Amino acid sequence: MPRSFVHEARRPVGRRRDRIRPIIERLAAEHADAKIALEFRSPVELLISVMLSAQTTDVNVNRVTATLFQKYRRPEDYLSVPREELEQDVYATGFFRQKAKSIQGAMRVLLDEFGGEVPKMVDELLRLPGVARKTANVVAAELGNPQGVVVDTHVRRLSQRLGLSRREDPVKIERDLVKLVPRADWGRFPHLLIWHGRRVCDARRPRCEECVLADLCPSSRVEVDEIVAYP
């Protein structure tokens, strides 16, 4: 189980239901550029990128896909090469054998069952080999049809620090978040937390003194009388 941040949320700051809207509004103002870090030009490229991003960084995936997407443009292209060739082409993302197998399996099902188009429903995406719930959620959200709130390591940490969930398991954290976050914000909310997590709320050294959420956060390390209350 990864490190827990639940115990840090100790300061009384009011009900999470009352805090969620200002949290979203302030983060949206602070990180207006927050979006998925993977680079893609089509739904198929999005799907491949998200599949490749397991256990590696988005920067690494973008480095690999910059050449990969020149060579493979349609689902058929991934099936026209031997598995070993695709393995070499995705080698630098790690777990290359499993990823190449999953990509070819997913492209096969895309062609056989979905006319070569990436479906927008999570249930349909889950029928693609190698596509688990998190991948399906990310793809559906990026295609404009979020059906849940994606919980990665940053979303988990910030949800716990902000007192939005006291759960440890990402599936249970997501359950708390979908009840709390307005549906219209399901897509952008994870990006806002991820960018805030990268820029301000670092796992080891959160910069609470610079944080726009300091007065709304039960984990803030800033003394209460030093906190600037944002409108």
Cβ(38)–Cβ(53) under 8 Å? yes
* Among 136, 155, 164, 217, contact with ligand SF4 (rule: CB under 6 A): 217
Q: State how far the Cα of 68 lies from the Cα of 66, in Å rounded to an integer.
A: 6
Stretch that binds ligand SF4, among 64-72, 118-126, 139-147, 205-213 (CB under 6 A): 205-213
To 5 degrees, how large is the angle CA 156–CA 158–CA 164? 85
Angle between helix 170-180 and helix 16-30 axes, rounded to 10 deg = 90
- Binding residue count for ligand SF4, defined by CB under 6 A: 13
Gap between the Cα atoms of 76 and 107, Å rounded: 7
Answer for the pair 158, 197: CB distance below 8 angstroms, yes or no: yes
* CA 192/CA 55 separation, integer angstroms: 21
208 touches ligand SF4 (CB under 6 A): yes
172 catalytically annotated:
no
Nearer of residues 19 and 99 to ligand SF4, judged by Cβ: 19
- What is the smallest separation between the CB atom of 97 and ligand SF4, expressed in angstroms? 39
Q: Is 89 a catalytic residue?
A: no
Exactly one of 87, 200, 205, 228 binds ligand SF4 (CB under 6 A); that residue is 200
Q: Does 160 bind ligand SF4 (CB under 6 A)?
A: no
Helix axes 188-199, 16-30, angle to 10 degrees: 70
In this chain, which of 51, 106, 149, 211 binds ligand SF4, going by CB under 6 A? Answer: 211
- Give residues in contact with ligand SF4 (CB under 6 A): 161-162, 200-201, 206-208, 211, 213-214, 217, 219-220
Report the catalytic residues: 134, 152
